[in-house]
Structure formats: C-alpha cells, structure tokens
Amino acid sequence: MSAVNWDQIREWDEKYVFHVLATKDEYHSLPVESAEGCYVTLADGRRIFDFANQLVCVNMGHRHPRIQKAIREALDKFGYVWEGMTTEYRSRAAKLIMEDMGVGSWAGRIRFLATGTEAVETMVLMAKLFTGRRNIVTRSYDYHGWTNALSGANGVRGYRSSLASGGGRPSIRDVPDAPSPNYHYAPAPQCYRCPIGHTYPNCKDKSGTLACVKATEHLIQVIGIETVAGFLTEPAQGAGMIHPPKEYFPQIREMTRRLGILWLDDEVMTGFGRLGEWFGYEVYDVTPDIMSVAKGLVSSAVPASGVVLSKEVAAFFDHWRFSTMSTFGSHPLAMAAVAANLQAMLEENILERVRKLGAHLGTRLQELEARHPSVGLVSGRGLMWAVELVKNKQTREPFVTVDRYSIYAKTEAVPASQVVGRIAFEEGVAVGAFLPNSIRLATAFIATEADIDFGIRAMDKGLTELDKQCE
Ligand SMILES: Cc1ncc(COP(=O)(O)O)c(C=O)c1O
C-alpha cells in the first residue's frame, strides 16, 4: 500500500476542486491510485475493469510501454518548442496518419492541437472561413465539445454547457447567449426510437432515401443552402450512443456534395480504430471534407488532437496566413506520444484485434439482450457499444421518459444507469452511464476476451436487478 494519506486527498479534492456532472452534495471523491492496461486501481486497493475505457479514449490501454518510452525520451530532449518550429516527432506523426493510415488519399494537411473540443472548434472555424458562410447544421443527440462557442453544436440540451440543478428531474439553466443562432439541428438517425416517427427500413422513399436524410436536406434548404458552411456529425454518436443505419452516411455524403456544403466529420471518439477501421468514414466507404481527431490519436496518454483538411480545403488555406497560434498545439512531448501510439497500432495489427474482440463483445451483449427484459437493444461496432435499457421491451418504453433530451443527475431518479452502474461497480467493473437509459461499453484494444467476459458477468448481475423494475 502506498503512503499517501487518501483521507487528506479526498478532503482537498472535495473542498477545493471544481467538479463536473455533480452538485456539491452529489459529488463523492473516487481516489484512484494508478491505472494499467484496461484496469484502474482505487486508493482502497480495489482493481476495477475499465469497461468504459474512461471517456472511450485510452485506445491502446493505460501506460502502453511504447508510448511511455517515447515520452521519456522526448523529455530528455525537450521542455517545449512552439508550433512554429518543426520537431521530428510531429513530422513522423503526420506521415504515419497521411501515408500509413491512408488519410492522404483525400487529405492534404493536419494541424495538431491539444483537445478534442479545440479540434472541432477549429474545424467549424475553418469551414466558415473556407466557405464564407455562417450556418452549421448538426443533429439531435450529437456531442462535439464544451466551450462557449462550440457547445451550441451539442444536440443533447444539457450538454450545451448548461447548468442542471441537482435532484431527480433537473431544471436547466442555459448560457445567456447560447446556443448560437447559427447552429441548427437535424434529426438523429436513431432507428430504435425515430425522432420523426418513422420505422426503419420502411422510412425509405421510392429512391431509397432515408426519412432522416430527407429531413436534413429539408432543414438545409429552409435555412438557405448558400448560408450553410457544413453538416457536422459523429460517425457513431458517442454521448448520444446511437449507431446509424448503413445507408445513412453514403446518402449524407451524396447530399452534401450535391448541395455544395462541407461534411465535417467529428472522429474525436471514433478515430484510430474504435470501430474496427482506422476512421469511422471508412465503415461507410465515404470521405469527409474536414475531420477532427483526438482521444485515440494519442490513446489519451497526454493531451493531443488534430484537424485534418481535404486536399481542396488545405490548398485554400495554403494561400493565407493563419494569424493565430496555440501555445500547446504540437507540444513535443505530445507529438512523441502520438507518433509512438500510431506506430504501435500499426505494428501490433490492432485493427484485426479490435474486429475480433468487438465480435466477441457483440455476441456476449446479444446474449444479455435475449435474456434480460430490461435490455431493449444492444448496438455497436468494433469496441464501441451501447445498451438501451427499457421498462417494457414490447413498447420500448424507457425508464426515464425524457431520455436523451436532457441530462440527469446521478441519483436514484436514474434507476437504469444507477442500478447497472452500481452493481457492476461492486463487482469490480466500471461502465459508462451518462444518459439515463443507456449504458456505454468500450474497452482498450489490448483487453482480452477473458476481461470482456468478466465485465459481462457484472453487467448480467446489474441487469438481473433492473429486470425486477420492468413491466
Ligand atoms: C465526438 C466528440 N467530439 C468532441 C469531443 C470533445 O473532446 P474533448 O473532451 O477532448 O474536448 C468529444 C469528447 O468526448 C467527443 O466524443
């Protein structure tokens, strides 16, 4: 046991640190001693399987030896140099993405930044500068970041940097000038509970176009095509926990090209192998105009993100001087970690591993779906899965009726997440429970089938409890 006084640590944390997702009364400090692979060790010595992969972001696992070695070596050479200077690490990172991961087939340049929000923010900024247009269309249930300018792009109301009161059903306080009137929300491709009342695949018209794609085009036409810079989406909704039907992105890409607006592809969560391809767009055999990346870019070992520009967009910016800079963009330690992370992914044949483990996880989850009345749907791909919890499997009635329109405090008012989350945790498994009726499951790519089976057994126990609350 370490000599750290954890009671003191907890006290300072609860007293001085600003916390998210909980009021002061709801917050309970959860001191963590260390993390390794796909496990975290709590201060009380308990070892927890990280079945949420933190924020779906530690792709190669905690403390991957190659990433650690690269950071140590970079530390011996650098304190810091700014993004106006070239390091070996940054050039190698760019080459690995463009040449070895195939992004150079459509993209011209990558700019490195520090966080996912910054990358999406830059993507939106560049889309507006490139097109000279002010409007951005995004979707219900999307999540793109948390800053004042960007949070308007979030399609879950509580994620728009709002304040939610504690207790059961929260009241929401919006930021006074948000969301920006330049964000517009198209319907999410949520076939399980279609937000515009259709049933997949009967929602297709004679030409095969999905109703949600038609509604998106309608929205763009109403706003005025010539005012829309781009359509901003995630390949799979990470916070919203929705995977689209296979026709969705090919049709979206055809539509955005036909209308002459940019497709802004936020791959902060899906990039670098999460869905069993290097990038989510590959799943649907389409390519974007601009793409944001973070999380998996560096397996979250240190802060690093990037915005990738198509050849056409990159060529436009080649003729301009981009007149601001980021102190922490391209930090040498981060660039060393990025290059080592990507090299490890390529050399460890990680895509094949994600596909194999993902198939195993999918099969085990489908078994849970068949067995438990409280599981309405499991959906996912690769190592990014969602479990939809229902009070009534036949009617698909959720436990918390407001579902994805808001966020809920982590109290007993959220029976679904709480019951499964608590029980799984008692069994030594941490699952992701951000929306009231959904559980997010993801693992590091270096997990084993035995790790996944351990996590599934804990979920099984939690769901058995929850089944008792079903109608
Ligand atoms: C799709 C997507 N975009 C943007 C972000 C914001 O990234 P960050 O938390 O690094 O600012 C996230 C974070 O979860 C995300 O999932």
Q: Which structural domains are found in the chain, ordered by start?
A: 6-63+349-467 (3.90.1150.10), 65-347 (3.40.640.10)
CA of 52 to the centre of ligand 1 (A): 15
CA of 202 to the centre of ligand 1 (A): 33
- pTM, two decimals, is 0.97
Statement: residue 409 has pLDDT above 60: no
The string of pLDDT tens digits covering residues 87-125 is 999 999 999 999 999 999 999 999 999 999 999 999 999
End-to-end, the C-alpha distance of the chain in Å comes to: 47
The string of pLDDT tens digits covering residues 192-232 is 999 999 999 999 999 999 999 999 999 999 999 999 999 99
Query: Where in 239-383 does DSSP place strands (E)?
Result: 262-266, 290-293, 305-310, 375-381
* Distance of alpha carbon 274 from alpha carbon 272, whole angstroms: 6
The string of pLDDT tens digits covering residues 433-461 is 888 899 999 999 999 999 999 999 999 99
CA of 150 to the centre of ligand 1 (A): 11
Q: Give the ligand 1 atom nearest the CA of 120.
A: 4
* Distance of alpha carbon 430 from alpha carbon 415, whole angstroms: 17
Mutate to test the pocket of ligand 1, among 144, 161, 241, 440 (most ligand atoms within 8 A of CB): 144
* Distance of alpha carbon 275 from alpha carbon 249, whole angstroms: 15
337 secondary structure, DSSP code: H
Mutate to test the pocket of ligand 1, among 159, 161, 268 (most ligand atoms within 8 A of CB): 268
Work out the pLDDT band at 149, boundaries 50, 70, 90: confident
Lowest mean pLDDT among 29-33, 154-158, 207-211, 223-227: 154-158
The whole-number pLDDT of residue 439 equals 93
**Any residues with Cβ below 6 Å from ligand 1, and which?**
55, 115-117, 120, 143-145, 234, 238, 266, 268-269, 294
- Continuous segment of H or E residues that includes residue 429: strand 429-430
3-state secondary structure of 290: strand
381 in Cβ contact with 246 (< 8 Å): no
Statement: residue 410 has pLDDT above 60: no
Q: Give the ligand 1 atom nearest the CA of 239.
A: 16
Mutate to test the pocket of ligand 1, among 21, 58, 120 (most ligand atoms within 8 A of CB): 120
Average pLDDT over residues 162-186: 80
The rounded percent of the chain whose pLDDT value lies above 70 is: 97
CA of 122 to the centre of ligand 1 (A): 13
